[in-house]
A and B are shown apart, each in its own frame.
Chain A
């Protein structure tokens, strides 16, 4: 059974940093592209970043967020720096259908809440 478990969310002050983790199990992690998607309270879904052989970022996080993965630990990461109030959201990690980033996300974690506030 595919499982994705996010962690690392919490309350952080504006300008601060957080590193989110997503522990994957139930599939061969290294064979699949992975993605972060966020959802601000009461709002819609917003794509944040994807990683396959390359990395891709939404404009909202470019230069502040870094996506990475450790295939030996079956874990996806999102390093978030210079956080702003508008980054407040539930952050989901999602598994892609294939090895390349194709915007087809067949499994999602339950999300971790990031709150940026003073």
Chain B
């Protein structure tokens, strides 16, 4: 079982705003990073740290954190945002190990 918990599936209407969440005790001490994965493709980093976007990631993607919950928000979702989204962070052991959430399948309606 994952130490980071994500909703298995979320849907959003085209051009609306959606928040994908990730819960875990380690998020009280460490930032999450977020990855987008489309079928048959490698994951792509979309958000890391407090709220940083790698070059080339649209600014409709943003991140936030509160307590034990990290969130990825897509403001004005596009059809091409339909994908699986994974959070990751340190685990709660303090041994600098890493854990991924179980992933959220985002459907854009």
Contacts and interface: CB of A to CB of B under 8 A. Distances in A.
Partners in one complex: yes
Given A44-B86, A56-B96, A103 B33 contact: yes
A45 B22 CA distance: 14
A86 to B, nearest CB: 14
A56 B94 CA distance: 12
Interface residues of A, number: 21
Given A44-B86, A103-B33, A108 B42 contact: yes
B1 to A, nearest CB: 12
A47 interface: yes
Contacts of B100: 37, 44-47
Nearest to A90: B42
Interface in A23-74: 35, 37, 44-47, 50, 56-58
A47 B45 contact: no
B98 A45 contact: no
B102 A47 contact: no
A97 interface: yes
A105 B88 CA distance: 10
Contacts of B88: 45, 47, 103
Contact of A45 (B43, B89, B97): B43
Contacts, number: 59
- Interface centre among A57, A105, A109, by most chain B C-beta atoms within 10 angstroms, is A105
B13 interface: no
Given A56-B96, A56-B97, A104-B33, A92 B42 contact: yes
A103 B90 contact: yes
A58 B99 CA distance: 9
A110 B43 CA distance: 9
Interface string B66-107: 000000000000000000101011100001111111110000
A58 B98 CA distance: 8
Q: List the 7 closest pairs (A to B, CB-CB), nearest first.
A: A108-B42, A47-B98, A104-B48, A44-B103, A45-B100, A103-B98, A104-B33
Interface of A: 35, 37, 44-47, 50, 56-58, 92, 97, 101, 103-106, 108-111
